Structure 1
């Protein structure tokens, strides 16, 4: 680790930290060797098989030259081989860096250099992103691995676990470093949502995304079963959910919306669901109400950052009257808002959200200056993570997220939060999705422009009139543009910079 890196100390918790994940995998392999751990199509990997394969891969990596805390980078899909490489890297004492298979070879080369990967693996899905890099064949990994001939490393809580690269929606991807303590505490947080040995988790998002890992890693620790879906489609997802009597799933809002809109949804047996989880992007009130009304099982929204520090949990089922919020701060965490001069604001006032919790990243990989910029240091010298979001905490402790700081619209000296305008548009029955951005205005400096997708034909001017009738005078939308689809990252976040690009000079987008 770069010695110039700020030392980020998470909130302490009483008692020992959870057992390392490879240790838990071995426990499940010994206790339930024939129970299914991973299901892909008709192929089943049992817990006994997974534990043995993990240790064979760990030994193989060590023979290839992997040393304690070295990085293994991967370019792979949602497959048992990819997950086994992840676990084998941890068992070998290494740090795993799953990279985006949709990235260009130039970006991938930069990420590999950034994390100083000692070994690179790729499967068929990741080959196109390799460029001039040479990688070990991921598909041959289990065949080439042999049993361990000596003891595997002992893992400490502060050893590296993984490096997750940000999506780059607000700039170049940053490598977010987690240790075993971070992931162990994150796993413990999921215990209240029915994560146990009887659970069956449907995985339909990429391994390189923290959205996936926030549910998949706790499921592996609990000893349940993961049903893998290499590429999401709503009809196939519903069929898998019914066939395998899925109890848990983590999806992003655009996936939940597509599932509810699928013609097979209402005829699909989803009665076995215990908990549905959503993260990565906001759940709008209209989508939340639809999920509560039509989809069985508890519905929980997770608001947070891959970096940790800032985190809220919203049990929509328990609080159906608070759907305009992202819930209350996670156990052991704290939130506050800062004014423009970084001064803490009284509760209830809108400012940038900062937080501390029991899970906080080690830092950005080989980027001490970026790490410092991500932190706010209080008068006692304690580090808080900056969220980049504007919001307020109400009297009951529920967090209202208003906007990204860079997405806030300043029109005529008034700050306008896009979420308020988007929610006003979503009250129209024809509007499926809405995204509001700032565009230049000779009169006001900036003015709100809305992009919408429709579920039924509607006149854009009528939509504008409908929304503006529900907004204050300073919030009025100047124009509505109907589009077939909103630009999104692979994990479902709306790319507002792509919407802004035609309207602004490059530095504004």
Structure 2
């Protein structure tokens, strides 16, 4: 323990109640403060090889919280983050939570226009960035008009941006006097980084904490976990690792980017016990020339999610890692199933059963419950489900089903079927959404750009199977009359105008897109044509 007065460390967030000897349930920030007290000298974070103790991390997060409040931001304000992985991003996320504000971590790979759209949608009152991202955004009027702009890791001053170190240096390391309530918004994770209308998934202090509690059990985290995080912290998969590790009091090893050789070295050198990656990362790990010689025996539990884990790759993982793999199917909105390694025999294609405390059902096209073995839309309910999308009453209504007992269920749009023992099998992903490398790609957003091409009358974007990425987008184009489009030119034109993750692999021409009587494009037919043979 440190020599600080214990009451000084947690006095602002843990309050007396009138429930007898039972204390008020702690929020995530309270738990981190208690780790700072009782696990003071234990590493909470290892960033670029540098360990940061629980006491240091808690104190630094308090400084960020106090700096936010001192800058005129108030409880409930949304603060956007556009940052590379690193200590500053971690401190930013935790400090925002401690101040009772709402973090909105943004995908670094999307276009400037998409970033602007998300910041507007969130009504952000400030932004924290890495220096490269600040330079990128300096010409964006919307962002430059934000009342708070802070950047870090810079060797020079950036005009109209505050420097991270200067912003924090006068701030107290004591916790701010901010009472957090279970229903307070905690973060907004954007499911679409695109030219279309953003969809911000809101979670509260309580739903995020319950999510971490339930996942930490399913994914076998504990106080001595050494977790390797290879994904950027705007990803909900990275949040799984971060929150589960820290809830249990473990240590998070944070990488700036993914390199298969480096990951193998990290596992062997630091005796990594936990990680979560998307299938393409596991593929590259196993294909690396050092994979066979690396000591991977320290690994206790691994999770794969973000896109389907094909049976062949799943089998290879079991052959190389003694802990096997826990495959997770889920949405950030709040549905999760997991397949435990001990249950995989005879169920290699399954994504398991619902997370503890979560219920599922499958509905047919008439919203009737599906019998065992029949495919239907997957719905979920439970304490980890989001309260709703940010400022999107239309989307909230579309994703809600009320059962005969009056209970609200989350529609996923994904199609699955259950076997007699309750194991779920994914039949199809959302009709339109493409899952590529763990990232959600929404075809409508790419289509909105593609139809602006002078020779394109209409277009449809679909995902086709990819060994590396799970799925990859391609385009089917219905040309305008009396035109002879060059498919390579169209692909180059489009890929220059969309985000990195949205770039398509091929363009195909078709005289008339197949449609149903209501005029809706039949993308399933296009998929069948694209994958035939």
TM-score band, normalised by shorter chain: 0.7 to 0.9
Q: Which residue of 1 aligns with 2:244?
A: 218
- Residue 325 (1) aligns with residue 332 (2): no
1:414 corresponds in structure 2 to none
Q: Could you tell me whether the CA contact under 8 Å between 1:17 and 1:157 is conserved in 2?
A: no
Q: Shift of the alpha carbon at 1:79?
A: 0.7
Which residue of 339, 352, 359 maps to 1:334? Answer: 359
5 Å matches for 1:149-188? 151-168=176-193, 172-188=197-213
Structure 2 equivalent of residue 137 of structure 1: 151
Partners of 1:260 and 1:91 lie apart in 2 by: 40
Change (3 A) 1:214 1:266: same
Q: Cα 1:159–1:392, aligned 2, differ >3 Å: closer, same or farther?
A: same
Separation (CA, whole Å) in 2 of partners of 1:129 and 1:320:
50
Change (3 A) 1:69 1:78: same
Pairwise CA RMSD of aligned residues? 3.1
Q: Distance in 1 between matches of 2:104 and 2:29?
A: 17
Alignment of 1:385 onto 2:410: yes
3-state DSSP class of the match of 1:401? strand
Partner of 2:486: none
Alpha-carbon deviation of 1:254?
A: 0.7
Moved more, 122-131 or 388-397: 122-131
- Provide the secondary structure at the position in 2 that maps to 1:187: helix
Residue 224 (structure 2) aligns with: 198
TM-score, structure 1 as length reference: 0.77
1:51 positional shift: 0.7
**1:126: Cα distance to partner?**
2.4
- What SS does the aligned partner of 1:346 have? coil
Structure 1 match to 2:28: 21
In the other structure, the counterpart of 1:258 is 284
Aligned counterpart, 2:269: 243
Q: 1:294 to 1:171 in 2, by over 3 A?
A: farther
Q: Secondary structure at the match of 1:266?
A: coil
The 1-side partners of 2:190 and 2:420 are apart by: 35
Deviations 1:60-114 (A, max 9, x none): 0001112111111010011110010000000001010001111211111110110
Q: Aligned partners of 1:249 and 1:227: how far apart in 2?
A: 10
Q: Deviations over 1:216-240 (max 9, x none)?
A: 1111121111111111011111111
- 1:286 aligned partner: 312
> Partner of 2:380 in structure 1?
355
Which residue is 2:45 aligned to? 38
Structure 1's unaligned 5+ residue stretches are 1-14, 409-417, 420-436, 438-445, 455-486
Partner of 1:108: 115
Contact preservation (8 Å) 1:196, 1:223: yes
Name structure 2 gaps, 5 residues minimum.
1-21, 154-162, 436-442, 444-459, 469-494, 515-519, 524-533
CA deviations on 1:257-296 (whole Å, 9 max, x unpaired) are: 1101111001111111110111111111111111111113
Aligned partner of 1:54 in structure 2 is 61
- Whether contact under 8 Å (1:336, 1:354) holds in the other structure is yes
What secondary structure does 1:96 align onto? Answer: strand
Q: Secondary structure at the match of 2:57?
A: helix
- Aligned counterparts of 2:250 and 2:102: Cα–Cα separation in 1: 24
